[in-house]
Chains A and B, each alone.
Chain A
Amino acid sequence: MKFGGGAAGSMSLPGSSVARQKDGAADAVSDQFPAGLRVLVVDDDPTCLTILDKMLRTCRYEVTKCNRAEVALSLLRENKNGYDVVISDVHMPDMDGFKLLEHIGLEMDLPVIMMSADDSKNVVMKGVTHGACDYLIKPVRIEALKNIWQHVVRKKKNGWKELEQPGRLDDGDRQQKQEDLDNLSPSNEGSWKTSKRKGEEDEGEEKDDMATLKKPRVVWSAELHQQFVVAVNQLGIDKAVPKKILELMNVTGLTRENVASHLQKYRLYLRRLSGVSQHQGGLNNSFLGPQETSFGMMPSLGGIDLRTLTVAGQLPAQTLASYQASGLTRAALKPSIAMPFVDQRDSLSIEIPKLKFGEGQKQQQQLSTTNTKHINLLQGIPMTMEQKQLVSFQQSPQLSGTLNNLHGGGQNSSLLRQMVQPQSQGEMLNESIGGQMSLIQSSIGQPIPRNRVSNSDYSVNHMADLPHNGFPLSSTPVITPLSSKGFKQEGISSDMQGEKVFAQSYDVFDNLHQHKTQNWQLQNAALNYGAASRYPTTSLGNAVNVSPSVLVHQAFSLANHKNGHNGDCHVGKTISFAGAEEQFGGTTNIDRNANCLLTNIPSRVKVERVQEMSSRTNLFSDHFGHDDLMSALLKQQEDLGQVESEFDFDGYTMDNIPV
């Protein structure tokens, strides 16, 4: 009763040889395909895991078992090209399956199949929205597993399609892309390569580095992304169809397919943002969006960020509205950057800092509470992130100073502070620094800081060093600087490859927190929110341009990247991307993304504030005239050091702002 009698008959290979080689001859793999498919299966239930393992081996796949999501993630990160597909359970004690799914999607871009005994529609829908390529109901039958290879092929095919897009960016961009690719963090590169490699398997293409890509991918540079966001906002997120977006963008060499896949990612990103906000119970209910686990940590931040983003005006109201029923909408409704949030929630700014992400998911709750607490504190301070606050940010470099102090290196912090507390800078700083910083930090996109949840930790440092740098800023959503830092650090100008950009951001986070997925989330949330919130506060208007999704993305990526580093600025980066790309007037952020998410954040924030996010203007750049701030931040970032530029964004290394 060996199953697949037919297959067994023809396949001579036990599946353990040639096919197994990870980077073995592509030809060999393809000959044996689907045998030798490298599957990573994650399930906390040992019975189930054993059965699945056996079934998959019977299918002649190469199986790796894992009973913990964290372990699975580290396995994947260590060996980016080591697996072809991941099968994961939904309910796991250490990490929600959907969160894992997101991580993988962002960092490795592998097909992920979810499974659960739960077959209720909304859970399955969640799988779909999170990007799972399939959903299996337990008990899983072997027949269902026999065909999982289709997902691998499909993904590769889609990847190739993009590469082969004829009208892709012009050569100049392409080149840029390639360079970026080179700069991309290993993880990114790895996944890209993998897809590329696989894509070209049949052609006998060897794994070549990105530079020799035959089918260059579209690089979603900050500028390009900005254009994209503008187009989407113009059309309305619900009505934005690739064709129209493409027309609006009017970029030569860009195909509808490029836009379509970028849009998909963008949507996911936005969804995440809204989801995160929801989690923030403490913060604002309004943000309640889809409660994404990933955002979980950010609950407090999430809410704020989104709002901030919206407030900043960056987030298209419609976008916000669409995403967040409650929380965001508020923000969205108020296009003025002035922080509609602020109005709605004074605590916004407060909230942000509160998010002390450091703690990770568990902290979420804590965060929310903390945030709420902070909020209260802040309440006193006219947190109206409104423009004047923003202005104050701009004007008061002191915050930056304070922030810096807080985080120790967190230049961002100071910026954050400034940003966050436009109003009572002094007070804010003190209080918020701890809490806000965290918020900011978190918002800045330091998902990582989760660990650092400690308010003080939030400081920008989170962004840079997620690892609990305890950036005081981290809490502060001042994310903008952070994000900018992250982005800027790398100096990833514009190469934010559209899709990759996000991906990068994810990576960032990843690196930041590797261990702390939670942090990641927080950070992401923080970042996102931070950025978002920052904007509003700093009257970033401009800054906020980055639609929350962007920020979120950014944050996430940062967080992701930084996971490893925890606290790396990556988090910041992510935020910045988000912000940068979209809101920051455009390219600035994005370009800078890498640059110093953390450091930039403050600058970004400033910039943003100053300018209503004139699209594409670099937030950091002069708009705000916070150049000085930026430089200060940048300097700080340098101090902070690690700007992980894993992802394209060199700037990402938002450097862990030494706390």
Chain B
Amino acid sequence: MTETKGCKGYLDEQFVQLEELQDDTNPNFVEEVATLFYRDSARLLAVIEQTMVRNPQDFTKLDNYMHQFKGSCSSIGAKKVKAECTQFREYCKAGSSDGCMRTFQQLKREYSTLKKQLEAYFQLARQVGPRESATRPR
């Protein structure tokens, strides 16, 4: 997956790490993590969005949230989304609400794109068989 994804830049080496962690005792580890990620981050994104609506100038808070979100993204290897997070934080530092808003929209797009890709990936993995699809040839 990473090879494909990697080409497109959606996922990075970290995702490979997750794949490597998957084994017989945890055959769906990657999917579990991804699900957990999406559930938890959706909540965080909602909070960020709300803050942007109410206090678009509260850059400290936004930066904090985004830092958290970025941490999650990096754990799962979501490269592009992570890049957007970094960009967002830059705008926070610069104090630009507009920049933040634009970046946030972009971020959400990347986020949902990745989600779809992962869903497709997992579906495929389930069909093909966990080991074959998840593990890369050593």
> Which chain A positions have C-beta within 8 A of B19?
1
Interface size on A, residues (CB 8 A): 23
A118 to B32, CA, bound (A): 25
* B72 near A91: Cβ-Cβ < 8 Å: no
A1 to B41, CA, bound (A): 29
A464 to B23, CA, bound (A): 53
Convert A111-147 into 0s and 1s, putting 1 for each residue whose CB lies closer than 8 angstroms to a CB of B: 0000011100000000000000000001111100000
Q: List 13 A-B residue pairs with CB atoms under 8 Å apart, sorted by A's residue number.
A: A1-B19, A2-B23, A45-B68, A47-B36, A47-B76, A91-B68, A91-B71, A117-B67, A117-B70, A138-B75, A139-B77, A140-B75, A141-B17
* A51 near B33: Cβ-Cβ < 8 Å: yes
> Which chain B positions have C-beta within 8 A of A47?
33, 36-37, 40-41, 72, 75-76
Q: A46-B36, A141-B17 are in contact. Are A117 and B138 (CB under 8 A)?
A: no
* A48 near B75: Cβ-Cβ < 8 Å: yes
* B67 near A91: Cβ-Cβ < 8 Å: yes
> Which chain A positions have C-beta within 8 A of B118?
none
**A-B pairs with beta carbons under 8 A, tally:** 67
Q: A1-B138, A47-B33, A91-B68 are in contact. Are A117 and B21 (CB under 8 A)?
A: no
Closest A residue by C-beta to B44: A45
> Which chain A positions have C-beta within 8 A of B37?
47
* A117 near B71: Cβ-Cβ < 8 Å: yes
A54 to B22, CA, bound (A): 9
Q: A45-B40, A50-B33, A50-B36 are in contact. Are A1 and B71 (CB under 8 A)?
A: no
> Which chain B positions have C-beta within 8 A of A1?
19-20, 23, 135-136, 138
Convert B10-34 into 0s and 1s, putting 1 for each residue whose CB lies closer than 8 angstroms to a CB of A: 0000100111110100100100110
Q: Does B123 sit at the interface, judged by CB under 8 A?
A: no
* A48 near B135: Cβ-Cβ < 8 Å: no
- Looking at the assembled complex, report how far the CB atom of A5 sits from the nearest CB atom of chain B, in whole angstroms: 10
Closest A residue by C-beta to B85: A117
Q: A1-B135, A2-B23, A91-B64 are in contact. Are A48 and B17 (CB under 8 A)?
A: no
Q: Does B74 sit at the interface, judged by CB under 8 A?
A: yes
Closest A residue by C-beta to B41: A47
Closest B residue by C-beta to A43: B71
Known contacts A2-B23, A47-B36; 8 additional CB pairs below 8 A are: A1-B135, A48-B75, A50-B32, A50-B33, A91-B68, A116-B71, A140-B75, A141-B14
> Which chain B positions have C-beta within 8 A of A58?
21, 23
Closest B residue by C-beta to A54: B21
Convert B70-89 into 0s and 1s, putting 1 for each residue whose CB lies closer than 8 angstroms to a CB of A: 11101111000000000000
Size class of B's contact patch? Answer: 20 to 34
A141 to B135, CA, bound (A): 17
Closest A residue by C-beta to B38: A47
- Looking at the assembled complex, report how far the CB atom of B77 sits from the nearest CB atom of chain A, in whole angstroms: 7
A139's partner among B14, B21, B26, B67 (CB-CB below 8 A) is B14
A48 to B76, CA, bound (A): 8
Q: Does A55 sit at the interface, judged by CB under 8 A?
A: yes
Closest A residue by C-beta to B12: A139
State which residues 140-175 of A face B: CB under 8 Å.
140-142
* B71 near A45: Cβ-Cβ < 8 Å: yes
* B71 near A51: Cβ-Cβ < 8 Å: no
- Looking at the assembled complex, report how far the CB atom of A166 sits from the nearest CB atom of chain B, in whole angstroms: 47
A47 to B30, CA, bound (A): 11
> Which chain A positions have C-beta within 8 A of B40?
45-47
Most A CB within 10 A of own CB, among B17, B26, B77, B136: B17
* A117 near B26: Cβ-Cβ < 8 Å: no
Convert A50-63 into 0s and 1s, putting 1 for each residue whose CB lies closer than 8 angstroms to a CB of B: 11001100100000
* B26 near A54: Cβ-Cβ < 8 Å: yes
Residues of A within 8 A of B (CB): 1-3, 44-48, 50-51, 54-55, 58, 89, 91, 116-118, 138-142
A72 to B37, CA, bound (A): 22
> Which chain A positions have C-beta within 8 A of B17?
55, 139, 141-142
* B72 near A48: Cβ-Cβ < 8 Å: yes
* B20 near A51: Cβ-Cβ < 8 Å: no
- Looking at the assembled complex, report how far the CB atom of B39 sits from the nearest CB atom of chain A, in whole angstroms: 8
A147 to B95, CA, bound (A): 41
Closest A residue by C-beta to B136: A1
> Which chain A positions have C-beta within 8 A of B76?
47, 51
- Looking at the assembled complex, report how far the CB atom of B118 sits from the nearest CB atom of chain A, in whole angstroms: 13
Convert B53-78 into 0s and 1s, putting 1 for each residue whose CB lies closer than 8 angstroms to a CB of A: 00000000000100110111011110
* A48 near B71: Cβ-Cβ < 8 Å: yes
Q: A1-B138, A2-B23, A139-B14 are in contact. Are A54 and B29 (CB under 8 A)?
A: yes
- Looking at the assembled complex, report how far the CB atom of B76 sits from the nearest CB atom of chain A, in whole angstroms: 6
- Looking at the assembled complex, report how far the CB atom of B24 sits from the nearest CB atom of chain A, in whole angstroms: 10
- Looking at the assembled complex, report how far the CB atom of B125 sits from the nearest CB atom of chain A, in whole angstroms: 15
> Which chain B positions have C-beta within 8 A of A89?
71
> Which chain B positions have C-beta within 8 A of A140?
75
A46 to B17, CA, bound (A): 17
- Looking at the assembled complex, report how far the CB atom of B34 sits from the nearest CB atom of chain A, in whole angstroms: 9
> Which chain A positions have C-beta within 8 A of B33?
47, 50-51
- Looking at the assembled complex, report how far the CB atom of B92 sits from the nearest CB atom of chain A, in whole angstroms: 14
Most B CB within 10 A of own CB, among A50, A58, A140: A50
> Which chain B positions have C-beta within 8 A of A54?
21, 26, 29
* B70 near A51: Cβ-Cβ < 8 Å: no
> Which chain B positions have C-beta within 8 A of A141?
14, 17
Closest A residue by C-beta to B32: A50
> Which chain A positions have C-beta within 8 A of B68?
44-45, 91
A138's partner among B20, B23, B32, B71 (CB-CB below 8 A) is B71
A141 to B40, CA, bound (A): 21
* B67 near A118: Cβ-Cβ < 8 Å: yes
B74's partner among A3, A46, A50, A139 (CB-CB below 8 A) is A139
A48 to B20, CA, bound (A): 16
* B135 near A138: Cβ-Cβ < 8 Å: no
> Which chain B positions have C-beta within 8 A of A45?
40, 68, 71-72, 75
Closest A residue by C-beta to B20: A1
> Which chain B positions have C-beta within 8 A of A46?
36, 40
A91 to B74, CA, bound (A): 15
A117 to B68, CA, bound (A): 8
* B64 near A117: Cβ-Cβ < 8 Å: no
> Which chain B positions have C-beta within 8 A of A3?
20
- Looking at the assembled complex, report how far the CB atom of A287 sits from the nearest CB atom of chain B, in whole angstroms: 23
Ranked nearest first, the 4 interchain pairs of A and B with the lowest CB-CB distance are A117-B71, A139-B74, A47-B37, A1-B20
Q: A54-B26, A54-B29 are in contact. Are A142 and B21 (CB under 8 A)?
A: yes
* B72 near A55: Cβ-Cβ < 8 Å: no
> Which chain B positions have C-beta within 8 A of A138?
71, 74-75
B75's partner among A51, A91, A118 (CB-CB below 8 A) is A51
> Which chain A positions have C-beta within 8 A of B64?
91
A142 to B37, CA, bound (A): 19
> Which chain A positions have C-beta within 8 A of B20?
1, 3, 142
Closest A residue by C-beta to B70: A117
A31 to B72, CA, bound (A): 36
> Which chain A positions have C-beta within 8 A of B138?
1
